[in-house]
Structure 1
Amino acid sequence: MSKADHLLSILWMLQQRKRTAAELAESLELSVRSVYRYIDALCASGVPVIADAGPGGGFRLPEHFSASPLFFNAAERRALVQASAFAEGSGYPYVEALSGAIAKLKRYSNDEQLSQMERHERGVEMLHTPSTPLSHLLEELEVCTADGLTVQMEYRKGSGEAFSVRAIDPYGLVLWKGRWYLAGFCHQRQDIRSFRVDRIAGLERTGACFHRPPGFSAREFLLRSLLPGQDQETALIPVVIASGEEVLNDLCSHWLFGHSLEQRIPGEARFLLDEASLFGFAAYFLLPYGKSLTILEPAALKQKLAAIAAGISAHYTES
């Protein structure tokens, strides 16, 4: 353990209860002399360690010190252990470090705190879609984003396409629908673009640096590129769907339909979609709902769904 880890460990242990130098030394596998050095270092840094002499003595902290921001309250401890469940399996590149932090938090918590954390930890679990391990790429991209370092990457735009080499200023990473995306300035296109991280075959630093635009949000950039109506010249088509509240709630919670909702009344919802989204994506999304919903308009969307269903029927009839 580093000096910082030892200092923090002593603080956590004293926060639980009074300890003697011998107890601290035994728990941390240190010499008593080293414990006294660390106690002196804590005092020099402003931590009010109280030394009680005589039988029953030892080191302790004032009662008010437990409320210091250095320590976490019950709600904060619960949030930390549950947040680690969301990170696990998402591809987050620092899961090992996060697990180490949670283990350290548990190690220096008293029995009541530990029991409470474990109860809340068991209460939240996640099912993550299996994906290609990307930790090495995500970690490097995150570092280059934070430090403003330009990278050169080998990138494939789609399945079967050849790799292209391009220089990118990485502005930020976004996790969306189980996939990681990079938003950044593409030197080849001279514009900000988004890239799927799982399509990056190679990555290396160029030695150049950049400054990210103030206030830039990779999340907002990706969202704007997906939502209809961002192009002022693109006309939006009204889509009116009738169904029960459960189906309409499901539609309105979807990333595309939820952001394009114009009006919602009992049994009916009206959306505004651009033509590309409507016929290239929305029609296929609505198909699995079958007879549980009715498309009132536009007629072209009804025809599109009928054609898709007929094509599927013909495919399986022929086979």
Structure 2
Amino acid sequence: MSKADNMLSILWLLKTGKQLTAKQLAEELEIHIRTVYRYIDALCASGVPIIADAGPGGGYKLLRPLDDAPLFFDLDEQKALVHAAQFAREAGYPYGDALERAVTKLKRYTNEEQREAIDRHASGLNVISPSPDRTVAEMLQSLEQSVADARTLRIDYRKERGAFAETRRIDPYGLIHWKSKWYVIGHCHLRGEVRSFRADRIQRIDSTEDAFVRPADFDARRFFLGSLLPDAEREEGTFTVRLIGHPAALADLCEHWQFGHGLLHHSDHEIASRIPAASLTTYLPYILLSYGSAIQVVEPPVLKERMISLASELSAHYRETD
């Protein structure tokens, strides 16, 4: 058995209330007696109240009943858990309070030297992201619970800013965190197909007594990315976008999730990428506008026309303001 397994075995043997010698423990676990001594020392360092009685009839026993088992994590595992908590906190993870309690419990079962090491590693990592919407956290808990329980939900959903909310029934299949936003993926009874819904646009959520069966082969991540990005092997429903411009600007665009996924060609002064038709005149032009004259659209013509139209609208807007 591993070290952790042996230490837990010693703990469970002592929890029976018996007083056991190192020799008895060694024989029970089929390990060397010196190994037992090391494991007892490690358990004590983790906060387990073990006492030793010397002399004939002596041995090891617990000072008091132990309700909570200590956590046997090495330093790298402790560091990873604390760092993961920092990432989750910045992402607006819905069970952030529970995660903080878990980290507190982790520190409770460490000695002073281990706690100092954990604190050093925690202070050495910072995560910077847009401030999460804390009001969404409670809703995310309801969504996650419904996913786990396979329960249909009734939601009031606003598709975009300023639009009226629609009441829908959805079968939630999974949650996605994407670019600082949370989404629930599920079957929409109104549309009769799988859709994605932004959590911060859900204005009301009610659980129902109706259950559903999630498709066995459904992958929420694959569905979500597939709705954003074109299939690398399929040209239907996509356009080839060709840009020329400054090398640094083009290299930066290649790292964008939409350009990078469908990248066909990249040189110092030109890139080509396959872009979903739905993004061509809606999302993409606003990305390109931020690069100003550092890039230029070569094709397709519809994208060039949309860029010209947006630039003209902006120019007219600021002239009216002046």
What's the counterpart of residue 125 of structure 2?
124
Q: What percent identity do the matched residue pairs reach?
A: 39
Q: CA RMSD in A?
A: 3.4
Distance 1:155 1:314 in 2: 34
Offset at residue 244 of structure 1 (A): 4.4
Query: 1:229 touches 1:273 (CA, 8 Å); kept in 2?
Result: no
Q: Does 1:91 align with 2:92?
A: yes
Offset at residue 165 of structure 1 (A): 2.3
- Scaled by the length of structure 1, the TM-score of the pair is 0.75
Determine helix, strand or coil for the equivalent of 1:133.
helix
Q: Does 1:40 align with 2:17?
A: yes
Determine helix, strand or coil for the equivalent of 1:280.
coil
Query: 1:166 touches 1:186 (CA, 8 Å); kept in 2?
Result: yes
Alignment of 1:1-319 (within 5 A): 38=15, 40=17, 52-54=52-54, 71-130=72-131, 131=133, 133-228=135-230, 234-319=236-321
Distance 1:297 1:162 in 2: 37
Q: Structure 2: which amino acid aligns with 1:267?
A: H
Offset at residue 299 of structure 1 (A): 4.2
Determine helix, strand or coil for the equivalent of 1:237.
strand
Offset at residue 262 of structure 1 (A): 1.3
Q: Structure 1: which amino acid aligns with 2:54?
A: G
Q: Structure 2: which amino acid aligns with 1:53?
A: D
Point out 4+ residue stretches in structure 1 off by more than 6 angstroms. 46-51, 230-233
Offset at residue 89 of structure 1 (A): 3.5
Distance 1:140 1:235 in 2: 36
Unaligned runs of 5+ in 1: 1-10, 16-35, 61-68
Distance 1:117 1:199 in 2: 38
Determine helix, strand or coil for the equivalent of 1:174.
strand
Determine helix, strand or coil for the equivalent of 2:282.
helix
Determine helix, strand or coil for the equivalent of 1:212.
coil
Determine helix, strand or coil for the equivalent of 1:238.
strand
Distance 2:108 2:198 in 1: 38
Query: 2:17 touches 2:61 (CA, 8 Å); kept in 1?
Result: no
Distance 2:235 2:269 in 1: 32
Determine helix, strand or coil for the equivalent of 2:86.
helix
Distance 2:176 2:274 in 1: 26
Offset at residue 224 of structure 1 (A): 1.0
Determine helix, strand or coil for the equivalent of 2:17.
helix
Offset at residue 146 of structure 1 (A): 0.9
Distance 1:231 1:139 in 2: 37
Unaligned runs of 5+ in 2: 1-6, 21-27, 30-35, 41-50, 63-69
- Scaled by the length of structure 2, the TM-score of the pair is 0.75
Offset at residue 289 of structure 1 (A): 0.7
* Distance verdict in 2 for CA 1:161–1:89, change over 3 Å: same
Query: Does 292-301 or 119-128 show the bigger shift?
Result: 292-301
* Distance verdict in 2 for CA 1:305–1:123, change over 3 Å: same
